[in-house]
Amino acid sequence: MEKLAAGLAGLRWSMGAFPLDLIVSRCRLPTLACLGPGEYAEGVSERDILLIHSCRQWTTVTAHTLEEGHYVIGPKIDIPLQYPGKFKLLEQARDVREPVRYFSSVEEVASVFPDRIFVMEAITFSVKVVSGEFSEDSEVYNFTLHAGDELTLMGQAEILCAKTTKERSRFTTLLRKLGRAGALAGVGGGGPGGAGAAGGGGARPVKGKMPCLICMNHRTNESLSLPFQCQGRFSTRSPLELQMQEGEHTVRAIIERVRLPVNVLVPSRPPRNPYDLHPVREGHCYKLVSIISKTVVLGLALRREGPAPLHFLLLTDTPRFALPQGLLAGDPRVERLVRDSASYCRERFDPDEYS
C-alpha cells in the first residue's frame, strides 16, 4: 500500500473538471479521479483520490416498515432486486376491499365488469363474423387466450355473426315439437322450394347480433372482442399471485408475480450484508411499494485504512471530477498506477455484494 500511496500522491491533476457521465462514456474503467475545485460529494473529501470502478444499473424495491394493523411507520428503504432473503405474503388490504372473484364465462365477467381479469386456463374460441347485414361475406374470427393473460375491460359491443347449426338446434327442436318444422324450412328458403334449399349446401347463413366484451390483452397489446357465450375460467387475481399466497419467496419473485403494493413478513433470520444501511429483521413486516431503476457509478476512496466504497447516481447535477494529467496524455506509468489501484481494490472489495 505504501508504494501505491506514494504513486498516488505524486499525481498531477487536470486544470478542468469533467462531468461524471462524460468520464464514464469516454474513459476506460476503472480510472482514477478526484473532486474538481469547488465540487462537493457526500462522504468524499477534497483530499480523497477515487477509483471510478464501474457503471451499473440498480433495480430496487421501495419498502416501508409496518406495525400491527398494517400502518406505515418506518423510514423508506430500498431492497435490491437480487436480495437473497425470503418473505411471506400477508393478507392484503385490497383482499378485504375487493375479495377475489371467479367466473366461468365471459357473460359472467360482463355482468360484474371488474377493472381487469386474469385468464386461469388456456381458452380458444371461434366465431364467423359477417361483413354487414346485407352482405354474404364472412370471416372466421379465431382467438386464443393463455393462462395468466391479463385483460383490461374496456366496454361492450355487438358483432354481426353467422349462427351455426349447433346454435340453431334448440330452436329447430322446439319447432319440431310444435309440428312447425316446415315453417322453419319456409323461413330458410323463402317458400316451398326453400325446404330443399335448406337441406342442401346452398342455404344462406342465419345472421344475428352477438354481444361481446371488449378487452385489452396486455400480453399481446391487442384489443379483443370476447363473445358472451365463450366459456372458460377467469379471476380477478392472477394464477401466479394466488400461488404465491403459500410459502416463502424472494423479493424478485414477488414483484414479478404480484401486483404492488403488497404487505410481506420476514419469516426467518435473513442473511446479513456488511454494506446494509438498514437491517431487515426476522418477524418485521414491510409494505413493498414500487420498483425503481437507476444508473449508478461505483467508486472507492483510496485511503490508508483501506478502500471505502461509495456510489453516485448518474444525474445531470452529479459533481464534476478532475482526471490525472498523465492519463489524459497516455502516460504508461499512470496507466500502470490505475491497474495497480484496481488490483488492490479487487482483493478487498466485492462490487456485487455492495450492489
Q: What is the pLDDT of residues 208-248, one digit of tens each?
A: 788 999 999 999 999 988 999 899 999 998 888 888 888 89
**The domain boundary residue, chosen from 293, 313, 333:** 293
Q: Which residues of the chain have pLDDT under 70?
A: 68-74, 92-97, 130-138, 162-207
- Examine the fold and report which residue of 214, 236, 258 is the final residue of a domain before the chain moves on: 236
Q: Do residues 146 and 225 share a domain?
A: yes
Q: Does a structural domain hold residue 182?
A: no
Domain with 273, as residue range(s), is: 59-96+239-293
Give the chain's largest Cα–Cα span.
Answer: 111
Same domain, 316 and 343: yes
Q: What is the model's pLDDT at position 133? A: 57
227 with 306, same domain: the answer is no
Same domain, 287 and 305: no
In terms of domains, do 259 and 332 share one? no
The pLDDT assigned to 121 comes to 93
Q: What angle do CA 205, 207, 210 make, to 5 degrees?
A: 135
Same domain, 150 and 220: yes
Residue 352 lies in a domain: no
Q: Measured between alpha carbons, how far is residue 168 from residues 62, 71, 164, 171 in Å?
A: 57, 58, 7, 5
Residues 39, 16: one domain?
yes
* 258 DSSP assignment: S
The grid coordinates of residue 41 equal: 460529494
What was the pLDDT predicted at 277?
A: 77
Q: How many domains does the chain have?
A: 3
Q: What is the pLDDT of residue 146?
A: 94
Q: How long, in residues, is the chain?
A: 355
Residues 312 and 226 in one domain: no
What is the per-residue pLDDT for 333? Answer: 92
Residue 186 maps to a domain: no
* pLDDT per position as a tens digit, 139-187: 777 889 999 999 999 999 887 776 655 544 544 444 454 454 444 444 4
- Last-in-domain residue among 293, 314, 338: 293
Q: Same domain for 134 and 216?
A: yes
Angle of CA points 89, 93, 99, to nearest 5°: 95
Same domain for 6 and 50, yes or no, is: yes
Query: Do 156 and 220 belong to one domain?
Result: yes
- By the 8 A CB rule, do 8 and 49 touch? yes
Provide the grid cell at 228.
Answer: 358472451
The answer to whether residue 173 is domain-embedded is no
Specify if 248 maps to a domain: yes
Alpha-carbon span 5 to 47, nearest angstrom: 13
- pLDDT confidence of residue 103: 95
Residue 324 lies in a domain: yes
* Residues 14 and 33 both lie in one domain: yes
Q: Is residue 193 part of a domain?
A: no
